[in-house]
A and B are shown apart, each in its own frame.
Chain A
């Protein structure tokens, strides 16, 4: 059984900013200004820990000052470093509420136990959350409702999904009819 990591990746350093040790961070959080509220950040191995202070946002990247990084050379050496925060510092969730970070990567099965793929993303386009599931047979978009997603087990990294049933379409029926007609014509 897969266990949930206590650390969540919230961004990656993509370069240096200025000559005083600032870095540019591509943030994976909704509001880069919240970076400080999530406590100290660390790298993947946990050897480097920083207190991060967001100084601004430019071209979609957060401009961050890290404690202990005083010049551009040190900042450039950090390029490519992923920044992690403690999961406990992230916002608390209510019942039937899940962090997007927890849902992404979950194994997706049908109620019969058939493997459908894995959750690759969670979208909200104004009509409720939608799970994007990528599997061998392609992409599947499923509304995040109790009817369509009867079971979510974040601890086991498992999501049970009722695959959507599409209403028969007139276009499909027409093409099917044409195909049948063609078959009839081709038959000797």
Chain B
């Protein structure tokens, strides 16, 4: 069952503080977070989070398309052996 709309998106409160602090600092730094369950909000767009997957912090650059998803969706916890050699990687 989906979460009730009247509750609003779930978010661990300290993330907002961290995001504001990082944005105000003006430095392009990675914000380490352990809260994989938190929803990505519009005011996180443009920031880079290091989302913990139980092993390491994977960099997640938040874009508009990610709003409404959870941070954990972008930091898999299972071992992945990588893409094929013929796959292209674009530097953005």
Interface residues of A (CB under 8 A from B): 8-10, 27-31, 34, 38, 90-91, 93-94, 96-101, 103-104, 121-130, 139, 141-149, 152, 164-167, 169-170
CB proximity to A under 8 Å, residues B14-69: 14, 18, 21-22, 25, 27-32, 48, 50, 56-63, 66
B32 proximity list for chain A (CB < 8 A) = 166-167, 169
A34 proximity list for chain B (CB < 8 A) = 86
Q: List 10 A-B contacts (CB under 8 A).
A: A96-B90, A96-B92, A123-B83, A124-B83, A127-B61, A128-B61, A141-B57, A146-B92, A167-B18, A167-B25
Total cross-chain contacts (CB, 8 A): 132
Interface residues of B (CB under 8 A from A): 14, 18, 21-22, 25, 27-32, 48, 50, 56-63, 66, 73-76, 80-92
Judging by beta carbons under 8 Å apart, are A129 and B89 in contact? yes
The distance from the CB of B30 to the nearest CB of chain A, in whole angstroms, is 5
Judging by beta carbons under 8 Å apart, are A144 and B92 in contact? yes
Judging by beta carbons under 8 Å apart, are A123 and B82 in contact? yes
Judging by beta carbons under 8 Å apart, are B91 and A149 in contact? yes
B81 proximity list for chain A (CB < 8 A) = 121
